[in-house]
Every structure is written in C-alpha cells, then in structure tokens.
C-alpha cells in the first residue's frame, strides 16, 4: 500500500479514539459510525428477543396438542416474533450497515443530515420499547405481523395491544422515512471526487434503491396505521365491513408497503454479497452493469406485485392475471443477480473465509427461497400453499437464509473495520456450520408441513397425522441447534472485541474506499482519499501501472 492514502496516527480499536470515549459521547452522538454501531447492536439485541419468541413457538409445536404455553400467549408470541424480526431487527440492521458504510464507501465525512440520522435511531429505539411495553401495558398485540382487519378492530381485539403495535410502527416508520431521505441525499451529493454514480460500490447502489423503496412504500403503511388508529380510538370504520368499511382495503395498503418491504430487506443483503464475493474470489465483479440495472428493475417491479399476497381473497380474473405475470417477471432480475455472482466466482481464486462461507450459503438458500416464491406466483399453486407452513418456510429462506445470512457475511467481513479486531475464524466456522444445519433443519421441513396441510399461525395441531408430528419435532429440535449457533456468534463477537487479532487497515486486501482508512476509522473518516477511477480505487492504487482510464478524473 502507498503511504499517502493512509490516515496518520495509530488507531487499532475504538478505545484509541478519544471522541468515542464514555457513554455520553454515544448518547449525544451524531457520528454516522457510532449511530451505525448503535443501530446494529440494537438490531442484534432484538434479534435475540425475536429468536427467543421463535424458540417458544418451536417448543410449543414440539408435540401435538402441547400445552407448553397458552394459546393467547402463543398468538402474542408469533405476532411479536414477526414484528420484532421485520421492524425492530431486519430494518435497523440494514440501516445500521447503510449509515455506517455508505459515507465510508463514497469517501464522505458523514451523512448529509447527521442530526436527522440520530433522530432516526432514537425514535426507532423508543418506538421499539413502546411496542414491548405492551406486554405490561394490557397485553401484547396478537393479530399477526400484518394485522389483518377487521380482527384488529376494537370489537375483535379489545386489549390495547394493537394500539401499541400501530403507534410504535408509526413512530418507527417515520424514522425510517427520515433515514431513507438521508441516505438518498448522502449518496447523491456526498460522493468523493471522481466517484460518478457508475463508480459507486454496488452495496451503495443497492442501498440507494432500498432508500427509494423506503420513502415510497412506508407512507402507505403509515397512512393505513393512522386509519386503524382512527378506527380504534375515534370510532371511524375504515376497515369495519359491518359499518360499510372494507377489510380488503387494509390488505391492499399493507401489502403495497409489505411487498416492497421484502425488497427493502433483501437489497442491502444483495449489496453485501456483491462486495464480499469479488473480494474473496480475487476477481472484478462480473456484469456489474447488469447487477445495477437488475436492481432498478426490481425496484420498479416490486411496486406492482403486492396482490400476490392476496391471491386467495377472491379477486377478479384480470387483476389476478396481471399480478401473476408481474410476480413471475420479478424472478428474472433476481435470477440475473444469482448468475452474475456465480460468474464472478467462476475462475476465481476463492478464499473460503467465514464471510465467504456465509455468502455461498446465501446463494444456495436464497435460490431455494426464490424458487419457492415462483410457486406462489403460479396462482393455482398459491391457492394450495398460501397461509400454510410452506409460506413460513419460504419467508424464512428468503429473510433468514437469504437476508440474514448475507448480513452475517457482512458482519464477518466488516467487523475488523468497525472494531479494529478480527473475528475468530475458528468460532466463525462452528457458527457457520451449526447455523446451516440448524437453519435448514428447522425450515426445510416446513415446506413439507405445508404440503401435509398444516396452516400457519396455529398454536397446536391434532393427533393422528404422524408425518406432521415427526416433521414438527424435527423442526423444533433443529431450531435449538440454530439458537445455539447464534450464541456462538455472539460469544465470538464479544470475545473478539477484546481478544481478537489486530486487523490493520485492510485485512482482506479489499478494494473499496472504506479500507483506505484506519480500522476503526477516525471521526471524520479520511485524512486523504485515493483518486477514484473505477469501482475499485484500491485495486487501481495497487496496480498503479494500470492505465488511467480515458476521461480521467471526474468531479
């Protein structure tokens, strides 16, 4: 490495940075890196809570007619599991990655609106705490994470749980929109000299797409939530058919948000593996233009597929057919990504670090999740499979085996940058293999449970269906392996934070700008920036003999 690109001074851990000392510096922080770490830490804390809910559910379903928990509590648990994992874990996790990495990757000193950034985090945290307060404030919500009306109307859910659910999601939703705007402004205006939009790392590009999805889809949810709050508090009847309202209206609003939400969650995961795979294959990304363009295609198409969540609600034929086609077509840009990642690995010199292992498992598991999604787009099959355990399998293959595995790959990849310490590869391998076993054991058999006629969200299931009983027991036992692997992961993070090997600036010989500063980066990120002639500025620097592209430096 050339010396001119490196910041002066020796920084090897967060403790070496005086600005980050003491709790007060974190509470009052408007620094994107501190806020990123806070987002990610909170998300992981809520992951543990959501995981515990999952374990309670799997334990209840261990044997038929189990009485481990009461059904009211079970209904609260699965509602809170879904809500926690989507709104309190997955979205903050991707926001954490985004606000931490985007300024570093584009060579900026911070986000465009640092105070807005802090506001986004704090209202997320307090909104989340309000949701959990419902457990002691009169009962947690118990209508599922998508809260179908009219079950959420006061006449059917008298406890205040749904009101807590709606209020806290409204608060969090406002924060998410603010963070989305912030990310868009940052990416569009704060890029380093020479970094045209064609030269931003694809992680940044996908975060940009996600941010547009956030600011365009979350307002639909926020609006619907205000309506259900009106229904519950002011006795309006937007969603009460008995008084002239419409039950399907809620479903349309919710899924108009809900399906783009799936891509909000998965696109940053795509971004992570798009960074990880080339670095560990030691190859330039294959078909970067197609990866970028397919992201744009997904962004647009994702607003035209929401009704595939409603294929069994008795819609008109023409509507059904349009949404079947759009849902089938969105598989094409998603497939383009898979093939380009595979082509990037092809002919490479692949180092299977834990980060790369997670990225590889992501490829396989996400492919399975994507293909089971194709079955739902073929409407007659959707009529069979929707609302069964097959859906539970599908969503977990996409979000846990896909999005979360990708994010874990990102954790193993960027942990050295964030903390200055390497994660233990040995524990990482234990974590990886146990998690692959536990995850696939828990969720693959759920496809079969759906095929054997088990509806989702059931507190228990009857005797007399031996296959259903065996598969449930297998799934439950595997879920304990999954939970154990997560404990290893947390132990790895905690112990490596103190005892991990010093990482240095660029332990993976990666090529994007975040590796051109110290680990962890100083408060304003860079002393000086290398020139940007391509998506891989540090590669260009290393191979200085390589030609400077025609057109030279852009501004």
Partner 1 sequence: MDLTNAQSTNIFAFATEQARTIVQLHYATLAVCTLIAMTVIGLLSFIIVKFRHQDGNPDPEQYEGNLKYELTWTLIPTAIVLGLGIATAVVMHTINPPVGNNQPDVIVIAHQWWWEYRYPKKGVVVANELYLPEGVNTLLEMRSADVVHSFWVPAFGEKMDTIPGHPNHIFYKPLKPGLFVGACAEFCGADHALMRILVNVVPPKEYDAWLENQKKVPDAPTDETAQRGKELFLSKTCVQCHSVAGTTAQALVAPDLTHLATRQTIGAGVLPNTVDNVAAWISNAQDFKPGCHMPNMRVSKEEAHAIAVYLEGLK
State how far the Cα of 58 lies from the Cα of 150, in Å rounded to an integer.
28
Contact window for partner 1 (CB under 8 A) among 258-266, 358-366, 412-420, 514-522: 358-366
CB-facing half-sphere around the CA of 282: CA atoms within 13 A: 8
Report the candidate in 448, 436, 365 with the shortest Cα–Cα distance to residue 399.
365
Nearer to partner 1, 13 or 465 (CB): 465
Residue where the block lists tokens 């189990």: 66
Closer CB to partner 1, 64 or 219, in the complex: 64
Per-residue burial over 124-145, b if 16 or more Cβ lie within 10 Å, else e, is: bbebbebbbebeeeebbbbbbb
Please pick, from the candidates 254, 459, 489, 533, the single residue that binds partner 1 as defined by CB under 8 A: 459
Structure tokens at 232: 């519950």
Burial profile 214-246: b = 16 or more Cβ within 10 angstroms, e = fewer: bbbbbebbbebbebbbebbeeeebbbbeeeebe
Of 27-35, 101-109, 448-456, 521-529, the window that binds partner 1 (rule: CB under 8 A) is 448-456
Helix (H/G/I), strand (E/B), else coil: 455: strand
- By CB under 8 A, is residue 72 in contact with partner 1? yes
**Which of 100/280 has CB closer to partner 1?**
280
Is 157 exposed, middle or buried (CB count within 10 Å of its CB: 0-12, 13-18, 19+)? Answer: buried
User: Would you tell me the crossing angle of helices 405-419 and 32-60 to the nearest 10 degrees?
Assistant: 140
Residue 312 vs 502, nearer CB to partner 1: 312
**Contact (Cβ atoms closer than 8 angstroms) between residue 96 and residue 43:** yes
Using CB under 8 A, which of 133, 158, 300, 346 touches partner 1? 346
In the complex with partner 1, the residue whose CB is nearer, 41 or 71, is 71
What 8-state DSSP symbol labels residue 152? T
Give the Cα separation of 62 and 59 in Å (integer).
5
Backbone angles phi, psi at 435, to 5 degrees: -70, -40
Encode burial over 252-267: b for 16+ CB neighbours within 10 A, e otherwise.
bbbbbbbbbbbbbbbb
307: contact with partner 1 by CB under 8 A: no
Candidates 284, 296, 427, 477; binder of partner 1 (CB under 8 A) is: 284
**Does residue 59 belong to the site contacting partner 1 (CB under 8 A)?**
no
DSSP 8-state secondary structure symbol assigned to residue 544: T
Least distance in Å: CB of 334 to partner 1? 9
Comparison of 35 and 166: residue with beta carbon closer to partner 1: 166
Q: How far is the CB of 454 from partner 1 (least distance, A)?
A: 8
The answer to whether 360 contacts partner 1 (rule: CB under 8 A) is: yes
Site for partner 1 in 11-50 (CB under 8 A): none
Instruction: Draw the binding track, 109-148, toward partner 1 (x: CB under 8 A; -: no contact).
Output: ---------------------------------xxx---x
Q: Which residue has the tokens 């868009």?
A: 184
Site for partner 1 in 372-401 (CB under 8 A): 372, 374-375, 377-381, 383-388
Question: Smallest distance from the beta carbon of 466 to partner 1, in angstroms?
Answer: 9
Query: 335 vs 523, which CB is nearer to partner 1?
Result: 335
Does 277 bind partner 1 (CB under 8 A)? Our answer is no
- Rounded Cα distance between 141 and 132, Å, is 10
Q: Which residue has the tokens 């069994």?
A: 312
Q: Count Cβ atoms below 10 Å from residue 522 Cβ, excluding itself.
A: 18
Comparing CB distances to partner 1, the nearer of 351 and 426 is 351
CB of 506 to partner 1, least distance (A): 16
75 scored as a contact of partner 1 (CB under 8 A): yes
Among 97, 256, 286, 404, binds partner 1 (CB under 8 A): 286
CB 239 within 8 Å of CB 231: yes
Q: Which is nearer to partner 1, 49 or 451 (CB)?
A: 451
Q: Does residue 161 have a cis peptide bond before it, meaning omega lies within 30 degrees of 0? A: no
- Interacting stretch for partner 1, rule CB under 8 A, among 228-236, 287-295, 438-446, 489-497? 287-295
Query: Residues 153 to 172: which contact partner 1 by CB under 8 A?
Result: 156-157
Question: Nearer to partner 1 by C-beta: 109 or 237?
Answer: 237
Mark 460-499 with x for binding to partner 1 (rule: CB under 8 A) and - for no binding.
xxxxxx--x-------------------------------
Does the protein bind partner 1 through residue 501 (CB under 8 A)? no
Q: Measured from the CB of residue 524, what is the shortest distance to partner 1 in angstroms?
A: 33
CB of 526 to partner 1, least distance (A): 26
How far is it, in rounded angstroms, from Cα 495 to Cα 222? 41
Minimum CB separation of residue 267 from partner 1 in Å reads: 19
Residue nearer to partner 1 on the CB measure, 175 or 269: 269
According to DSSP, the residues that pair with 421 across neighbouring strands are 502
CB of 308 to partner 1, least distance (A): 11
Longest CA–CA separation in the chain, Å: 75
Binding window for partner 1 (CB under 8 A); candidates: 28-36, 185-193, 240-248, 253-261: 240-248
Binding partner 1 by CB under 8 A: which of 23, 349, 545, 547?
349
Give residues 205-234 in contact with partner 1 (rule: CB under 8 A).
Answer: none
Using a 10 angstrom Cβ sphere, with 0-12 exposed, 13-18 middle and 19 or more buried, the burial of residue 443 is: buried
Nearer to partner 1, 146 or 526 (CB): 146
And the tokens for 466?
A: 């031996």
* C-alpha neighbours within 13 Å on the C-beta side of residue 446: 30
CB 13 within 8 A of CB 420: yes
Please give the residues from 313 up to 342 whose contact with partner 1 meets the rule CB under 8 A: 313-314, 317, 320-321, 324-325, 328-329, 331-332, 335-336, 338-340, 342
Helix H or strand E encompassing 181: helix 161-189
* 456 touches partner 1 (CB under 8 A): yes
Closest contact distance (angstroms) between CB of 377 and partner 1 is: 7
């Amino acid at each position: 490495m050339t010396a001119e690109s490196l910041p002066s001074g020796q920084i090897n851990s967060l403790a070496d940075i005086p600005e980050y000392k003491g709790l007060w510096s974190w509470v009052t922080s408007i620094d994107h890196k501190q806020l990123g770490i806070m987002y990610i830490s909170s998300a992981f804390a809520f992951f543990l809570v959501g995981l515990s809910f999952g374990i309670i559910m799997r334990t209840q379903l261990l044997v038929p007619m189990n009485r481990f928990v009461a059904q009211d509590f079970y209904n609260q648990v699965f509602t809170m599991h879904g809500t926690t994992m989507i709104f309190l874990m997955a979205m903050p996790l991707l926001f954490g990655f985004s606000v931490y990495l985007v300024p570093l990757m584009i060579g900026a000193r911070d986000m465009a609106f640092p105070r807005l950034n802090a506001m986004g985090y704090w209202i997320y945290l307090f909104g989340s705490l309000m949701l959990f307060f419902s457990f002691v404030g009169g009962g947690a919500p118990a209508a599922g994470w998508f809260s179908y009306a009219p079950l959420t109307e006061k006449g059917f859910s008298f406890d205040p749980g749904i009101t807590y659910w709606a209020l806290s999601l409204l608060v969090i939703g406002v924060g998410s929109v603010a963070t989305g705007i912030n990310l868009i402004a940052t990416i569009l205006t704060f890029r380093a000299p020479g970094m045209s939009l064609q030269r931003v790392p694809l992680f940044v590009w996908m975060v940009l797409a996600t941010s547009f999805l956030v600011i365009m889809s979350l307002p639909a949810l926020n609006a619907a939530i205000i309506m259900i709050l009106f229904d519950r508090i002011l006795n309006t009847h937007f969603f009460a058919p008995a008084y002239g309202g419409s039950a399907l209206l809620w479903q349309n609003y919710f899924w108009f948000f809900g399906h783009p939400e799936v891509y909000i969650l998965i696109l940053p995961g795509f971004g992570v593996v798009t960074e990880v795979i080339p670095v560990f294959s030691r190859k330039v990304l294959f078909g970067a233009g197609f990866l970028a363009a397919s992201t744009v295609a997904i962004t647009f198409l994702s607003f035209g597929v929401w009704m595939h969540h409603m294929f069994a609600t008795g819609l008109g034929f023409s509507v059904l057919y349009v949404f079947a086609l759009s849902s089938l077509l969105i598989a094409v840009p998603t497939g383009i990504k898979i093939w380009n990642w595979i082509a990037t690995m092809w002919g490479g010199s692949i180092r299977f670090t834990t980060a790369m292992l997670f990225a590889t498992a992501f490829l396989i598991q996400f492919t399975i999740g994507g293909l089971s999604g194709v079955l739902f787009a073929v409407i007659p099959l959707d009529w069979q499979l929707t609302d069964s355990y097959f859906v539970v399998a599908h969503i977990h293959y996409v979000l846990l085996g896909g999005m979360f595995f990708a994010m874990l790959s990102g954790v193993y990849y960027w942990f050295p940058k964030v903390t200055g310490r390497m994660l233990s590869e040995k524990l990482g391998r234990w974590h990886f293999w146990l998690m692959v076993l536990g995850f696939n054991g828990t969720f693959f058999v759920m496809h079969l449970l759906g095929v054997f006629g088990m509806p989702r969200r059931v507190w228990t299931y009857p005797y007399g269906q031996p296959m259903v009983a065996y598969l449930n027991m297998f799934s439950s036992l595997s879920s304990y392996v999954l939970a154990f692997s997560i404990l290893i992961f947390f132990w790895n993070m905690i112990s490596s934070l103190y005892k991990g090997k010093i990482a240095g600036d660029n332990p993976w010989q990666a090529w994007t700008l975040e590796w051109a500063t110290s680990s962890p980066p100083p408060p304003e990120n860079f002393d000086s920036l290398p020139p940007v002639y391509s998506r891989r500025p540090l590669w260009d620097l290393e191979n200085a003999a390589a030609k400077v592209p025609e057109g030279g430096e852009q501004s």
